[in-house]
Structure 1
Amino acid sequence: MKDFSLKYGSGKIKLSLPEEDIISVLSGRHMKPIPSPQDAIWAALREPISSPPLAKICKKGEKIALVVSDYTRATMADLFLPLLVNGLNEIGIPDQDMFIVFANGTHPLHTREKQEKIVGKEIASRIEMFDHDYRDESNLVDLGKTSRGTPVKANKMVYEADRKILTGSITYHYFAGFGGGRKAVLPGISGFETIQTNHRLSMRPESTTAALDNNPLSLDMEEAAKMLKPDFILNTVLNENKELCGIFAGDLIAAHRAGCQFINEYAMVGIYQKADLVIAASGGGGMDINYVQSHKAMENAHFALKEGGVMILLAESSEGFPSDIYLKYIQLGSADKIHAELNRNFTIPGHTVFATFYKSEKFKIIWVTKLPKEIVKSMKITPAESYEEAYALAKKWLAGKRRTYIMPVAYTTFPVLK
């Protein structure tokens, strides 16, 4: 027998498995924090990827738009913005010639307190700040259509600035492939119709985790972002402890792709077969705090599982659902019905529920969680009080076929079949 101790909420779940059942333990490499973050940021700004440095892009007298992620994205903007702004000052651009626009997408607008928390007190006191409002047609400019037919309307203030600098963070994203880069524009500072039309491409099977080159939704985002003509990006990569591990600055596409490759080198794990059983712990802490975060572990784990196989998901989800809108989609009862509703009116919560049903209709999922049992059952998932209960049921279903992967931190581990 082989023993494991897997993080679950603020505690751990201990389990033992016959060694002959275990194919492998799937874990990405831990990203170590950069020892001197400020030095790394300066270095990235001085030697950007496939781009001249800002000193050769921006000129005295120009207005500079800084697009900054909203409160839902951890980017360490409070660390890099003072360096970025001070660097622009050195070029001869005063604070009053810069402004920040928060890339809210369709998220709620910020309070002044939230804005200050994102950028830090120093920058909040120096640089004028605005929230992007996707509903405000008077502050949207029509840039035409992408080759896939997406009508592109984007923030007018940003578009009219002499120079546009996009910031953000890069993570895996289960239908955009990766966050960061072009997402500062779409959905970040786009209009409602633009976001809806683009996000409907998420229903295509090619729109999936870690996919870029063949991902229609990501390619559409890139095309739309180019229409805004951004001059420079600065993207961070953080580890599960929200520590700075990578900084990628320069060209919209090249710098973003470099950051994506960096993540793959740590999180992507090659496998040579799919398993009958995947035991996946989200990773505890913030990684299984609610339904949405726990779903990210479920999404990654399913790539290692045979169709019809069994997944045991260990993800506490102590804070439940972020809002009641998720329950509305769960009540529809099937992936097909949710798909039809999303074609009428796309929402991110709806897509998360759709993606859950897509997996629960394809695999047998047992979820050890604190989510209400009846709601879990409504998603065609079997709830379990304990790992022992879940494993006993998995053995019964598998009837002797138990080739198994263990994923201790499924939230940050991406299995790829070789």
Structure 2
Amino acid sequence: MNDLKRFFPANRIPPEIITIDPGKKEINRNLNWLQDFENVISQTCLLKNVLLIVNDAQRSTPTAKILEKLDQLDNQFSNKCSVLIATGSHAQPTDGEIKQILGKFIPKQLVIHQAKQSKQLVKFGTTTRQNEIWLNKLINNTDLIITINSIEPHYFAGFTGGRKSFLPGVAGYQSIEKNHQFALDPRAKSLNLNDNPVHQDMTEALKFVQTPVQTIQMVTFEHNIIDIFCGDIESSFTRGVELARKLYSIPVTHPADLVIVEVNEPFSHTLYQAQKALIHGSYAGAKGGEIIFLASCKMGLGSPAFYHLLSTFNTPQQVLDYTEENYKLGYHKAYHMARIAKKMKIYMISQLSGEVLSNMFMEKINNPTEKINQYINSGRKIIYLPNGEVTVPCITEG
């Protein structure tokens, strides 16, 4: 547990610290989803083969809850459904994680996508950015696809959800690698879709899919469903993004001298996933300022590629220069880490060792109170993001 409150008397955050949190916004929850679900179920009534594409355990999507509701509406639903777990380039889920994803839902077939298994893949086309799109062949062997995912800020795709079920979700490794190379573009950032090359490449890849697609996309906060958007995948995504932008983006007047950013499960399990919160925190920080980053990383780094790259060089600028010339999948993580380290000093409270953190231009600390009190006593601005993985500060001045 890395809750910042535990470092202060009576578990109370000092009032001098400005907390920015989507949980403080008044957002009306929509609890009337039954009609939307019935509309999705109605699409499957006369079909024998339905493919459900669902997120892996690296996302907080309440998939099991949705599957349970669909099963209640049609007691034959699971008998016609195959489930494809969209792992992208992530590690394969464990048996425990699969149970967490599916709950009590028992499909007629369960397939875990493996991006490097060529026998699972079929070429669908080539995008205008010269990305050859290879997707799981099950997409062509079904009557209907239903994607179940969630919409939240994504640090280089703009938002999760929608098209990400296909690319990177069930795409081949090379297709993912080419797409993620566009993450080095400064337009590839949280909340931005208009000229984001990562998003545009993903959207173009989706258009190659000829099988009918229905979707169930959620906007959630702290494991509570705020609203659900069903139907056509692109229009549902657009409507969901409108709510997600309203919920997760928070205006900040003037950047802070010290930013404290905390990551919650499951994003805190590995640095590979937790890093997106660090990026969000950096949006709120002044150049030359400092960040205190709280993430347990109890499962380690999550990927050796970005660590190897960071630890190879002596300065963040060297990492930036090398990555731009020699991109491989995972290097975008190192690139963003180096960009933050060039802007701000990073301190981390984590289960990772001090040596490992030092190799990534970070310094390990066990108790942040002394540093925080220094900032309080000097009257400098402090901002705290208790839900850094989904909180996107937007500087309005300074």
Q: TM-score, normalised to structure 1's length? A: 0.80
The answer to whether residue 66 in structure 2 is matched with residue 80 in structure 1 is: yes
Query: What code does the residue aligned with 1:143 have?
Result: F
Q: Match for residue 8 of structure 1?
A: 2
Please tell me whether residue 147 in structure 1 is matched to residue 141 in structure 2. Answer: no
Q: Which residue number corresponds to residue 50 of structure 1?
A: none
The correspondence for 1:225, drawn from 184, 195, 206, is 206
**1:75-117 alpha-carbon deviations (Å, 9 max, x no partner):** 2221111333555x48xx7654432111121223345664343
Does residue 1:201 correspond to 2:179, yes or no?
A: no
Shift of 1:342: 7.5
Gaps of 5+ in 1: 1-6, 48-52
Query: 4+ residue runs of structure 1 moved beyond 6 angstroms?
Result: 15-18, 31-35, 392-396
**Structure 1 residues 388-407: aligned runs within 5 Å:** 388-391=369-372, 402-407=380-385
1:240-255, aligned counterparts within 5 Å? 240=222, 242-255=223-236
Structure 2 residue identity aligned to 1:64: V
1:177 deviates by 1.4
**Percent of aligned positions with the same letter in both sequences?**
21
Kindly tell me the number of residue pairs found equivalent between the two proteins. 389
Tell me by how many angstroms 1:413 deviates: 2.1
CA distance in 2, matches of 1:299, 1:176: 13
Query: How far off is 1:185 after superposition?
Result: 0.3
Structure 2, unpaired ranges of 5+: none
Using the TM superposition, name which of 316-325 and 174-183 deviates more: 316-325
Choose 1 or 2 for highest CA Rg.
Answer: 1
Tell me which residue corresponds to 2:252: 271
Q: Deviations over 1:32-82 (max 9, x none)?
A: 9999x9x644233246xxxxx552x44614522111112322322211113
Q: 1:117 to 1:284 in 2, by over 3 A?
A: closer
SS in 2 for 1:261: helix
* C-alpha distance in structure 2 between counterparts of 1:318 and 1:164, whole Å: 34
Specify the alignment match of 1:176 in structure 2. 157
Give the drift of 1:220: 0.9
| SS across alignment from 1:356 | helix
How many Å separate the matches in 2 of 1:223 and 1:207? 16
Given candidates 64, 67, 73, the residue that maps to 2:53 is 67
- Say if 1:106 and 1:255 are closer, same or farther in 2 by CA, change over 3 A: same
Shift of 1:12: 1.7
Task: Indicate yes or no: 2:105 matched with 1:119.
Answer: no
The offset of 1:407, in angstroms, is: 3.6
Give the 5 Å matches for 1:362-401.
Answer: 362-391=343-372
**RMSD value, Cα:** 3.4
1:179 Cα deviation after fit: 1.3
1:266–1:329 distance in 2 versus 1, CA, 3 Å:
same
Match of 2:395 in 1: 417
Q: Is the 8 A contact 2:180 2:332 kept in 1?
A: no
User: What's the secondary structure of 2:298's corresponding residue?
Assistant: coil
In 1, are the aligned partners of 2:252 and 2:395 still within 8 Å (CA)? yes
Cα distance, 1:295 vs structure 2? 2.6
Give, as a single letter, the amino acid of the residue that structure 1 aligns with 2:68: P
On the 8 A contact 2:58/2:266 being kept in 1, the answer is no
- Counterpart of 2:37 in structure 1: which amino acid? L
Seen in structure 2, the aligned counterparts of structure 1 residues 300 and 58 have a Cα distance that, compared at 3 Å, is same
2:328 corresponds to which residue?
A: 346
Distance 1:284 1:76, change over 3 A: closer
Q: Pick closer, same or farther for the CA change 1:10–1:274 going to 2, 3 Å.
A: closer
TM-score (norm 2): 0.84
Equivalent AA in structure 2 for residue 75 of structure 1: T
Q: Which amino acid aligns with 2:360?
A: M
Shift of 1:232: 1.0
**Per-residue deviation, residues 251-276 of structure 1 (Å, max 9, x unmatched):** 2122112222222222211123223x
* Structure-to-structure mapping, 1:293-372, within 5 angstroms: 294-308=274-288, 310-317=289-296, 319=298, 321-323=300-302, 325=304, 326-333=306-313, 334=316, 336-337=318-319, 340-341=322-323, 344=326, 346-348=328-330, 350-372=331-353
C-alpha distance 368-192 of structure 1, shift in aligned 2 (>3 A): closer
